[in-house]
A and B are shown apart, each in its own frame.
Chain A
Amino acid sequence: NAGVTQTPKFRILKIGQSMTLQCTQDMNHNYMYWYRQDPGMGLKLIYYSVGAGITDKGEVPNGYNVSRSTTEDFPLRLELAAPSQTSVYFCASSAGTSVVNEQFFGPGTRLTVL
């Protein structure tokens, strides 16, 4: 199993450009998450999904959109990139089948907006 994979690993955007961060998991997990991590900080939840067709906002959703058309894929869309969106983005998944669920993280996408 590859676990959680993210593409691209690095990206530089100009202000106002758009892009989609891809996330795929092969563990048949129901729950998927997008976080951002600013330098030296913890993780902040952007959006999450508890199953295909279901998404919900996290702590910092403004400027982002998501979709969950399949169990495996959970892409994150930035429509009008801003310097404040410069960060490292992590996708995660969990089984969601027990009281305590481990979240499995991808390797991250480092995004710079200039």
Chain B
Amino acid sequence: TQLLEQSPQFLSIQEGENLTVYCNSSSVFSSLQWYRQEPGEGPVLLVTVVTGGEVKKLKRLTFQFGDARKDSSLHITAAQPGDTGLYLCAGDQSNFGNEKLTFGTGTRLTIIP
């Protein structure tokens, strides 16, 4: 059983369109991180959300942590080819900090020029 489910698993859209990726769980997390991974490389952290209901913006990317801290979403406005990659959410269930993370199943995003 996967603790963190991401949807959709694959998404291919035209440049300039908007999209939303979801990360859902039945468990509560003390924090949740979003990573982006490009082919042949390791994941790189985009953002961390900690407070239920928190919204963080990173240029055209908007991240939201659910009020109950069980889910999160990533919204991209006016997608560009440089946004292509594998997006991974990762949750921390510990109370004392990031000793272990549980990674989601991933969303592979392709932006078509």
Contact = CB atoms under 8 A, between A and B. Distances in A.
Interface of A: 4, 31, 33, 35, 40-45, 48, 50, 58, 90, 92, 94, 96-103, 105-108
B98 to A, nearest CB: 4
Nearest to B30: A99
A105 B42 contact: yes
Interface residues of B, number: 29
Contacts, number: 74
A76 B44 CA distance: 22
A107 B40 contact: yes
Give chain B's interface secondary structure class: loop
B103 A42 contact: yes
Given A31-B99, A100-B48, A41 B43 contact: no
Interface centre among A44, A96, A97, A100 (most CB of B within 10 A): A100
8 contacts: A35-B103, A41-B105, A45-B100, A99-B30, A99-B96, A101-B98, A103-B101, A108-B41
Contacts of A45: 100-103
Nearest to B105: A42
Nearest to A90: B42
Contact of B40 (A43, A103, A108): A108
B97 A101 contact: yes
Interface of B: 4, 6, 9, 30-31, 33, 40-45, 48, 50, 88, 90, 92, 96-106, 108
A101 B45 CA distance: 10
